[in-house]
Structure formats: C-alpha cells, structure tokens
Amino acid sequence: MLTITIISLGFFTFFYVNHINPEKVEHKDVKTITWTDNYRINGRFIRGFATSDTNQKWYVQLKILNEDDKDYFSNNSLTGLELQVKVEKAIERPTSHKYAFDIEKYIKSHGAIGQIAVEEYKMLTLKTGFRTYMAKQRFKLKQHIQLTFPASLQAEAEALLIGSRESMPLDLQDAYLTLGITHLFAISGLHVALVVMLLYEVMVRLGVRRETANWLLILALPLYGFIAGGAPSVWRAVSVTEILLISSLINNKLIISDAFSLSFILFLFSSPWVVYQTGFQLSYLAAFSLIFSSSLLRLSINPLVQSFLITAICQLMVYPLLIYQFYEISLSSFLANLLFVPLFSFVILPINIFVLPLTFLSPVISNIIFRIYEPLRIWLDDFIIFLGALPFQMWNPRQPELWLVVTAYISIFTFFILVENKSKIFLSLCILFAPIIILHLSPYFDTKTRITYLNVGQGDSILIEMPKREKVILIDTGGLLRFDQEKWMESENVYEVGRQVVVPFLKGRGISKIDVMILSHADADHMEGAEEILQEIKVEEVHITPGSYEEDAMKDLREEINKQRISVFEKGAGEVIESSYYQLIYLYPKDVNYEGNDDSLVLYMKNAYFKGLFIGDLESNGERVLATEYSKQIEGQTILKLGHHGSKTSSTQLFLEKANPKFAIVSAGLNNRYGHPHPEVVERLNKLDIPYFQTGKDGSIEVIITKKGEVTIFPH
C-alpha cells in the first residue's frame, strides 16, 4: 500500500506542477469551443465543459439565442459540436458561504482552467471521433428510453442503464437521500458485474469459446463505460474488471487488491484532478473497505448477516467523508440497505437490463411486462417516499474540522484491527464512538455567539446562534423575484435560495432545529425561501409582522405551515424573545396595518458588550420613528443591518448619526439591477466613517462575539 501511495502521489504531483497556469491563458484568446460529453441544458442556458482552440478545457455558460437553437440543442448530442464564439469572462461571484457549492473547486475537479460566458455564437461543425460517436449512441439510447418506457419508469431506467439521474423527481431524490440508498442509482461494481456475467453467459451458451468470450468482454467493457456515463464509479468497476480479465488470459492472475490498486494508479495517471471529486473519493473508499475487510466478512456465512456486515463496513468507512462533504448522514441506511440493496440488485436492475433489449426486439412483449411491472414499481416508490418522510432519520452534527476527520479515520481503522484481533468489544466501541460523540456534543460547549449575514443574492437572511445552542433564530430566508418569460426559456430545475443556499449553511453548522423563524415582512426576497427551509429543517415557531400573513406572497408558505402545524405569531413593538444571554426586543411596528417595507419587524439585540439592530426593509419613515422614540436603544450600535438593501429610501442621515454603528452590513446582490447600495447611502457611510460590508461582494459575513465581549467579523 505504501508503494501505491507513493506512486499515486507522484503522478498527482507531476500533473499538478505541470498543469497549465490559468493566468497564462486569457479568456479573450478563445475563438472556438467544442462541447465535451459533460454538459446540461436548463432553460435558456447550456452549462458544461468544452475544449477551446487553445487546447484548454473551460467551464462554459452559454446563453441560447432563440427557440430554434434550443430545440436543436435539446434533440441532439452536443458532444463534438464546434461553435465559433464571442467570449466574455464569467462574473466571479463570491461563494455564498463556506458550506455552499464551490464552483471553482468543481471546475478544478474536472481539469478545467476557468469559466467563460458566451452570448454570441455560430455553429460550425460536428467533429468526428470515438467519443463523439459513443456520446451520440448514449444520447440515442436515452431518447429510446423516453419513447418506449412508461413515464413513471423512465427516470429509473435512465439512472440504472445509462447513469443519467437528471430526470429523477425531487421527492424521490429526497427520500433516497434520507434512507441512505442514493448509491443504488449510481452505476458501480455490482452493475458491471451483472452486465459482465450476463454477456459472458450469453456468449458461452451461443458456443463462443471462453477465452474468446473474455477477449470480447475486454473490448466491450470500455464501450459500456461510455454508454453508462463514465462516472468515477463506472470506470473504477470497468478498469478493475479489465485488469482481472487480462491477467487471467496471460496466466498471471492478480488478486483483487492488486487490480484495485492498479486501477487507482491508472485513474490518477489519466485524470489527476479527479481526486477532488466526491464521487471518486466515495467510490474508491467504499471498494477499499470491502476488499481489505474480507476477514471480517468471513465471520458469518449467513447471507443476512453478511449483507449487514457489508453495509456496516461501507457506512463506517465513508461516514467521516459524508459528514465533511454533505454535513449529514442517514441513520436508517443500515436497515434500508438490508432491504433495498438485494431488491434493486437482483430484481429491479435485472428487469431493466432484460426489458431494454426487448423494447427493440419486441415492443409488444415489453409493453406486457411494463403493464405488470409499472404499478408494482409505483407502489414501491410511494412506499419509499413514505419511509423517507418518517422523522429522526438524519444525523446532522456539523461539518467537522479536518483534524476530526483524520481522528475519525484513525478510530475506524483501530476499531477494525481490534475486531479482527477479537479484542474486547467495549473498548473497540469506545474508540469508534469517541470522535462521533465529540462531533455531536461540541456545539453545545461553544460559548460564542455567532451572527451570520448570509449571502443570498438580492435578499436578506440572518442566522443568530446563541451560546451553547440555547436558541437558534433565523431572520428572513432570502428568495427570488420571479419574472414571466417565454416557455422555452423557463428552467426545468428552478433555483431555490432557501434549499440551495440557506439549508446547506444550516446543515453545515449542524442546525437541525430553528427555535424562531422571523419573517420581517412579506416580500419575496425576504421570505420566499421559508417554505423550502421548513421542508428540510424543523421550525418551532414563526414570527411575522402584523397583517402580513394573508399577503399573496405568503400563499405557499401558509400551506406548508398548516401542513406541519407550526405556530405563527404576529409580533410588534414591546414584545420579547426569551434568552439568557441577550435582551431580544421588537421595537417596530407599532400598528397592525400592513403596508409593506415600512412595516418591517425590527429586532433589537443587546447585552453588556453588544448592540445589534435588524430592520428588514425599513425605510425613512420607520427610521424616523426609531430615532425619535427609541433614541437610547438605537444609539451606539455594534452592528447595523441597513434597511432595504442600502436603497436611497433608507439609511437616512439622522438615523445613521443616531445609530453610529461600528460596522454596517448591506445585504445586496453583486451587480444587482437596483444599484444597491445607492451611491448616496455609500457617501453617507463614508462621511460618517462607518465601515460596511456587502454580502454580494464580500460573501456571507460572520460576526463572532466571545463571552468576554470581543467582537470579530469574518467575511467568507
């Protein structure tokens, strides 16, 4: 293993050092691009990887010009399609927060040197070649599945047969994630083994010599790798099988661990940057755990016990990586995998493999099978969704620091060694669970207060975490203003700020329950994401400004609140939120007539060391009330969140002078269409020597307050 590690690191270092420096290649040098097989069409955009005439790989965001082009792009494989382009440098936006999707890391993991935007293009030609041909065949197979399989079975067939999970319904994806069985739809070793066994048996039954059958499999497996989508798990399984077949033919049989190791080295040699991909890490880690745990797997010959051991070993080996990358793991996965792995592996997958050729050879017979299979499969999906909706299935501690990930792996390896040596089980379990207990309990020993002004684009969302997790308060949830557009421009997968920005931050912080969700007022950019958060995170109660609950913007949220039976309270001036560490008082509004921005809920937060004011979209009239009627509370703020994203209708001279904050926060998107913060507001801040941060430029802003009163601000 030491030799393998040294060789692998050597390959990686060589390619890292010799990889082209992105600064040496300018985006303006790109005149043509050729699409690879890694792209996706959503609405009026194509996003994916393409090679340029400068022989470099780029991540490209192309805006489709018209509906005719959209139809062409949607109905043809784009792999190998060359376009003449006018390139612009993609806007470099800060990552929303440290737990958000990192586009730069994603680009690097695919060996690309940067990202570019294209709004003007001209189609040139379709380049010929092996990859282009295989991508075209895969695309045709996907179209065939969509034409011949019932609608309810298409997503399953696409995932299991060609490795495409784009069509999977969101509710099913969530259920599979909760049950810890998403890996069933990733083509991996078991899929490849079944395909190899099927092809081999067919050839032998047809009279093909065994040696010839092996050579034909060696030639066919790479083709299957391309058809199956070419994910790391696919190529791992294909490459290991290829190495074993070749070694058997040359009478130099390798053991599985050697084949696995050679596969790993070859993978790094061909694609060194793939080590950044979580799929690659999980695939090899899970396979590694099974290969080198054969002595544990021999503890019992009972199939049920062996199935449990396989699941347990894999889950233990990958749990630190899953927590680090996704911040949560499924507690029900042990039992769910015992049921669903055999079902999918030996029933559902073989049925799909068997029916696919029938749709070519005999549509009549395949349709008969579909009539029998479809209602059973629909019932199974309903059952899976039901199981996925059961509570208390996910463990969401927080994202661990790297030292704790390393410690967890040391404890896992020590545990396996102790079990193999038949040491005392109590000692073994103590070593295994020690990092888990530390990870789970650490937030409850944190004496710091954390206030995070999340970068949700043009909107507001602020998280307050009290010391020792006494209380978690979320003020606003972000959201998008939706604009009508032509049908062909509409996105199939709508971007959701609550689900894709706020929820990952909450999970990264290990927050599975919000004590109070405050919605300052009924504007989409402050509360549209609330419904999505409620579907993912438990919320004890919701506070709203008086009269806002019946607004049209609240419709979807009202339905979700009623469904979950969450308590909703209208709050106004003088009402408090109980806390042992701070005074939390609502200062505004003073009436119950809701009229928009100037009726935003205003929360005042104070202790001996800190004063903070959260004012939603309050404008000049509301600020005047605060400055005159709450003069004592307003003056000398530590942190002030400016009203209405820094628009010229707020942050008046009188209010800023009275508040005189040490720092101001502007929650506004980068290059937003409204021009926030307004130049007049920026001028006032500068004249008053008030430093400020803007979430759209600086990323999420984290304020940490120690128990001694020290205040530190960290832009992310």
Q: pLDDT for 573-624, tens place per residue?
A: 999 999 999 999 999 998 888 988 999 999 999 998 999 999 999 999 999 9
pLDDT at 198 exceeding the cut of 90:
no
Chain region(s) in the chain for CATH 2.40.50: 2-127
Lowest mean pLDDT among 38-52, 198-212, 390-404, 529-543: 198-212
d(CA 454, CA 526): 12
Q: 505 versus 198: which is more confidently predicted?
A: 505
d(CA 36, CA 81): 8
Residue 249: band (very low, low, confident or very high) from pLDDT cuts 50, 70, 90: confident
Q: 310 versus 44: which is more confidently predicted?
A: 44
Average pLDDT of 3-8? 53
Average pLDDT of 429-450? 93
Percent of the chain exceeding pLDDT 70 equals: 96
Q: Checking phi first, is residue 262 left (phi over 0); if not, alpha (psi -120 to 50) or beta?
A: alpha
Q: 95 versus 412: which is more confidently predicted?
A: 412
3-state secondary structure of 693: strand
**Stated pTM of the model:** 0.90
d(CA 453, CA 461): 6
Average pLDDT of 17-41? 74
In the sheet that holds 663-666, the strands lie side by side as 583-588, 602-606, 611-614, 639-641, 663-666, 692-694
Matching residue, tokens 């009436």: 591
pLDDT at 222 exceeding the cut of 50:
yes
Judge contact between 549 and 570, C-beta under 8 A. Answer: yes
d(CA 97, CA 695): 10
Average pLDDT of 218-222? 88
DSSP string computed for 525-587: HHHTTHHHHHHHSEEEEEEE-TT-TTSGGGHHHHHHHHHHT-EEEE--TT-B---SS-EEEEE
pLDDT attached to residue 21: 46
Report CA-CA distances (Å) from 404 to 99, 439, 445, 651. 17, 8, 16, 44
- According to CATH, the superfamily of the domain at 446-715 is Ribonuclease Z/Hydroxyacylglutathione hydrolase-like (3.60.15.10)
Tokens of 316: 């233990």
pLDDT attached to residue 22: 46
Average pLDDT of 57-71? 94
Mean pLDDT of the chain: 88
Which residues share a beta bridge with 521?
Answer: none
Matching residue, tokens 């969302």: 461
Average pLDDT of 40-62? 92
Chain region(s) in the chain for CATH 3.60.15.10: 446-715
pLDDT attached to residue 39: 93
Q: Does domain 2-127 have CATH number 2.40.50?
A: yes
Question: Which of 108, 103, 100 has the alpha carbon at shortest distance from 92?
Answer: 103
Judge contact between 684 and 654, C-beta under 8 A. Answer: no
Average pLDDT of 514-533? 94
pLDDT at 305 exceeding the cut of 80:
no
pLDDT attached to residue 537: 94
Helices then strands, each counted (H, E), the chain: 28, 21
pLDDT at 20 exceeding the cut of 50:
no
pLDDT attached to residue 77: 93
Residue 165: band (very low, low, confident or very high) from pLDDT cuts 50, 70, 90: confident
